[in-house]
Structure formats: structure tokens, C-alpha cells
Amino acid sequence: MKKIVLLMLLAVMISSAKNSEIRIKELYSPNYPIITFRVMIETGSINDPKGKEGLNALTILMLAQGGTKELTYKEIQEKLYPWAARINYQFDKEVSVIIGEVHRDHLEKFYKIFSDLILNPRFDEQDFKRNKDLLLNYIKATIRSGNDEELGKQALVWFIYENHPYNSPEFGTVQGLNNITLEDVKNFYKKHFTQGNIVFGIAGGYPKKLIQKIKRDFAKLPPGKPEQVKLPEPEKINGLEFLLIEKETRSTAISFGFPISINRSHKDFYSLMIANSYFGEHRTFNGILMQKIRGQRGLNYGDYSYIEHFVQDGGSTFPVPNIPRRQQYFSVWIRPVENKNRHFVLRQAIRELEILVKKGLSKEDFESTREFLLNYSKLWVQTLNRRLGYMMDSDWYGIEYFIDKIQKELPKLTVDDVNNAIRKYLNFENIKIVAVTKDAKSYMDDLISNKPSPITYVSPVAQSILDEDKIIQEYKLNAKPESFKIIPVDEVFEK
């Protein structure tokens, strides 16, 4: 009984006011003292003009990390500080989000600042310089120089979507960012910040009258919605295609994958979800990749796979919400391995993918993985903020609440559904592979030659593992000289 009453309090609705096209997504929880805003704008790096890659990201930063007509960035920081209120942002390929969190003691004042940032941005020249530097340094210092794994993952997306609107990185390119002027930002804002292009998400114990105010305030934006960028099919991958990033580094970070033609709105996605969890559930020991590469052989710290773009939420195991994409990709993330094992590990991971595609899951593995996901997916929404994000994504995909949909779809599936989906959407022959490594040329030569790549152990391991190693070390990869690109790290995301 208690639960039913609580459920009724958790009123969820989309409301549209007269004269306002602004869509509002509410997650009302009257006693919850922290209020979250998630303002989703349907604009992403796909909207970046050619030669100005990074314009969307910089525009979002100029709002979330800028000033209002009334207040400078500095003055805003001073106001927010004693409340410990936060304003964060995300930008992706298709949507961007500006996120506000505040204790309800300060809601009214906070809302004024937060909404002004979006409705009446300052577009200050100094803020522009600082935010542009932030993005440039993210490319030049953070990912190129300081995080080989992130570099590998981002470069994979860049490589998979050559000659496609998704090619432009969501944070821009060095040349693109350098070409952008403050005037470009203002024009981009004018074009994309329209009523029809925004969903205002709100969660917590806010006063209901705030909803009317949001509708009124956001009706000041121009009406309508810019036309959505059309997405062509991603280019076909021919065999194994390699992008090797030459870098002075003590280990090799590998990511590989290929586009898949479905997302959360397709029923087969739920079959693939089971297959993927069995193969490489993020940051767990459940996956085959993790068990065989790290668990049995200690070759690295972790090995995972994905069927949609994945960004980890802080130190948790779960993805951030609000990075929906019409087109998704399958990927495998091999965390850094010693350079001497880089050939072996790639053979092993692709061979495991072949086994998955050819043999599928056993009935037992299917059952246990499904049970895992049915329970685990409930943990993805432990805060109202995350729950609101998932609700908004579900609307974006045009599906019912994703967490509920998982509960509905998974029990209907059979092991054959899953194995059919694997054969239909996954493959082990046409893959794009990125490695961040030292002496890339010698890696290329090894791969092309298909020479044996035995590994050694510091202690005896089970005979069954050694027997399997013998097969892996000879496993033939169809690596052709013409399918390699080697680029120095400085050229990644340069243009």
C-alpha cells in the first residue's frame, strides 16, 4: 500500500502550455530537497559547420560556463558558491545538456540565474577565450597527452564515422576551434536555441507554480525548430582497417568496433543487450573478454564491450544519461597492455568475437545474463537526477521509460532471439581498429606478417589456457598493408 501511495506522488508528466512550445519533463518528488534541472537542446557536433568543428561545444560552454546579461561569470560564481549549487554541461553528437543542481532553500534565486544563462547569455569576449582554451587544452593536453585510453576510444569513433556527420568530435578539432569567432557562437545560439528544440527536465520537490514560470520564460525564445541533420549510412568497412596512433607510451591502448544499425528503439537492441553483457559488461567480471584476457591471463586491467556510445558517470559503473544517438556502434575496449603482448591480445579479442558470432550463447549463459540485467538495470537510476535523464532519453528515442522497457522486453526473449541478433548485427571480419602505441610500424609489420605472437607467464597456468594460447598466437588476422594508417599523436583531432 505504501508503495502505491508513493507511486502516485511520483507524478510524471509532459506538459505543454499554450503559446509555449517548450516541452517540460517533470519528475516530481515533493519531499526531495535537491532540485535538478536538465535542459536538453537538440544540437550537437553534427550541427558544427565544416571548418568550425567545436562550435556546438563552445556555444554550450559559453552558456554553462559564462555570464548573463545581468551578471558576469565571476558574479555568478559568487552567487552560487554559498549554496554549493552546481551548473554542469554535456555535449554530444546530437544533443547537449545544461544541468543545474541546487538545494531547495535557494531554488528561486538559482532558477533566475540558471534560466538567464540560457535565455540571456552574456557572450563575453574573455569568457570566449577561456572556454576556447579549455576545449583546445582538452584535445592537446588531456586526451592526446594524458589519457591513452580515452584517446583510443575517441579516435575509434572518429575513424568509424569517416565522411559522416558523426565524424566531427563532440569537443571539436584544433583547427576548427581556432577558426571560430564569438560572432559564430552568437549566430549558432540564435539558430538552435529555439522553443521547439529544447526540453526542460526538472526533478525534485519544486513548487508546482515553477512549471508555469518556466513555460512563460522560455516562450521568449524564438518559436520553431531547425531542421534535423540527415544521417547517411556509415561507410562500409572492408576487412580489418587499422588506425595506429604513434606515441611515446609504455603500453598499448586498443579500441575496435563497427556501426550497428539499431538503437534502443528497436526490439533487437534488447537481444543485443544480453549478448553484449555476456561478452563484455562494462567494469564487471561477468564478460568473457574480462574473464579470459584479465582473469585468466592477467594481460591488463580490464576488457569490455558496448552496443551504444558509452560515457562513464564519474567513478560509478554506469553510463551518463543524455547522450542519445540515432546511429550506434559496437565497440570493444582493451585497456592498456604491455607492448610485447599487443599482437596477442588483438588476436585474442577478435577470436573471442568470432566465437561469439559463430556459437552464440548457451541457454544457461543466456538465462543468467538476462537475470543479471533485469536486476542490474534497476541500479542505473539510483538518484532522481539520473532517473530524469533516462526518462528524457526514452522520449528522445520515442520509447516508454527505458528501465521499464528492459523489464518488459527481456523476459520475452529466447536464446535463439539473442543468437540471431548476434549474427545479424555483429561480425568479426569487417572492423575498424585503433591502437595508441609506440613503434606503430613494427606493430603493423607484425600484424601483416601474421607471425606467431606467443606470450609468457611468470608462473605456471592451467594446461587448458596454454592450449588455447597456442591457437590464439597463430590466429590469422586479415591485415593488409593498404588497410593501415599510421599517424603521429599530434595529428589526431587536428582537423
Partner 1 sequence: MQKMKKLVILLMLSILNLAISQNKIFPFKINKVVLENGLTVLSVPFDSPGIIAYYTVVRAGSRNEVEPGKSGFAHFFEHMMFRGTDKYPEQVYNDILKRLGADSNAFTTADWTAYHIVASSDALETIIDIESDRFMNLKYTVEQFKTEAGAILGEYNKSASSPFLSIYEKLQDLAFTTHTYKHTTIGFLKDILDMPNQYDYSLQFFDRYYRPENCAIVVVGDFDQNKLIELVKKYYGSWKRGGYKPDIPVEPPQTEEKVGHIAWKGKTLPYLAIAYHVPEFSTKNIERASIDFISELLFSKTAPLYQKLVIEKQWVDFIQGEAPDRRDPFLFVILARIKRNDLIDSVKNEIFNAIEELKTKPVSKERLEQVKSYLKYSFAMSLDNPNSVAYIVGHYFQLTGDPESVNELYSLYEKVTPQDIMRAVQKYFTKENRTIVTLTEEEK
Identify residues 129-158 at the interface with partner 1 (CB under 8 A).
129-130, 133-134, 137, 140-141, 144-149
User: Which of 16, 19, 88, 126 forms a contact with partner 1 (CB under 8 A)?
Assistant: 126
Binding mask 189-228 for partner 1 (x = CB under 8 A): ----------------------------------------
User: Which of 23, 93, 247, 405 forms a contact with partner 1 (CB under 8 A)?
Assistant: 247
Q: Which residues of 134-154 are buried (b: 16+ CB within 10 A; e: fewer)?
A: ebbebbbeebbeeebbbbbbb
User: Which of 190, 208, 220, 378 forms a contact with partner 1 (CB under 8 A)?
Assistant: 378
For residue 171, the 8-state DSSP code is T
Closer Cβ to partner 1, 94 or 149, answer by number: 149
User: What number of other Cβ atoms are within 10 A of residue 465's Cβ?
Assistant: 14
The CB-of-374 to partner 1 minimum distance in angstroms stands at 7
Under 8 Å between Cβ of 370 and 410: yes
For residue 313, the 8-state DSSP code is -
Position 375 contacts partner 1 (CB under 8 A): yes
Listed in sequence order, the residues at least 6 apart from 344 whose beta carbon sits closer than 8 Å to its beta carbon are 299, 453, 454, 455, 469, 472, 473
Listed in sequence order, the residues at least 6 apart from 128 whose beta carbon sits closer than 8 Å to its beta carbon are 58, 62, 182, 185
Closer Cβ to partner 1, 147 or 478, answer by number: 147
The CB-of-133 to partner 1 minimum distance in angstroms stands at 6
- Residue 42 has which C-alpha cell? 537538440
Closer Cβ to partner 1, 103 or 485, answer by number: 103
The CB-of-474 to partner 1 minimum distance in angstroms stands at 22
Position 123 contacts partner 1 (CB under 8 A): no
Listed in sequence order, the residues at least 6 apart from 51 whose beta carbon sits closer than 8 Å to its beta carbon are 175, 176, 179
Q: How far is CA 303 from CA 101, 290, 349, 468, in A?
A: 34, 5, 9, 18
Position 13 contacts partner 1 (CB under 8 A): no
Position 408 contacts partner 1 (CB under 8 A): no
User: Which of 82, 232, 398, 481 forms a contact with partner 1 (CB under 8 A)?
Assistant: 82
User: Which of 22, 23, 26, 29 forms a contact with partner 1 (CB under 8 A)?
Assistant: 29
Listed in sequence order, the residues at least 6 apart from 54 whose beta carbon sits closer than 8 Å to its beta carbon are 45, 48, 135, 169, 171, 172, 173, 176, 177, 180
For residue 116, the 8-state DSSP code is H
Binding mask 31-60 for partner 1 (x = CB under 8 A): xxxx--------------------------
User: Which of 69, 181, 285, 414 forms a contact with partner 1 (CB under 8 A)?
Assistant: 285
The CB-of-23 to partner 1 minimum distance in angstroms stands at 22
Position 371 contacts partner 1 (CB under 8 A): yes
Position 6 contacts partner 1 (CB under 8 A): yes
The CB-of-223 to partner 1 minimum distance in angstroms stands at 35
Under 8 Å between Cβ of 432 and 236: no
For residue 398, the 8-state DSSP code is T
User: Which of 286, 322, 394, 419 forms a contact with partner 1 (CB under 8 A)?
Assistant: 286
First-to-final CA distance of the chain: 59
Q: Name the segment binding partner 1 (CB under 8 A); options: 215-223, 235-243, 320-328, 452-460.
A: 452-460
User: Which of 168, 251, 255, 483 forms a contact with partner 1 (CB under 8 A)?
Assistant: 251
Count of positions on this chain that bind partner 1 (CB under 8 A): 92
E strand or H helix at 333, and its extent? strand 328-338
Binding mask 305-344 for partner 1 (x = CB under 8 A): -----------xxx----------------xxxx------
Measured CA to CA, the distance from residue 442 to residue 164 in angstroms comes to 31
Listed in sequence order, the residues at least 6 apart from 240 whose beta carbon sits closer than 8 Å to its beta carbon are 350, 429, 430, 431, 433, 477, 478, 479, 480, 483
Position 266 contacts partner 1 (CB under 8 A): no
Under 8 Å between Cβ of 168 and 176: yes
E strand or H helix at 86, and its extent? strand 86-91
Under 8 Å between Cβ of 273 and 307: yes
Position 407 contacts partner 1 (CB under 8 A): yes
User: Which of 45, 300, 453, 483 forms a contact with partner 1 (CB under 8 A)?
Assistant: 300
The CB-of-29 to partner 1 minimum distance in angstroms stands at 5
Measured CA to CA, the distance from residue 102 to residue 86 in angstroms comes to 7
Listed in sequence order, the residues at least 6 apart from 408 whose beta carbon sits closer than 8 Å to its beta carbon are 400
The CB-of-284 to partner 1 minimum distance in angstroms stands at 8
The CB-of-469 to partner 1 minimum distance in angstroms stands at 13
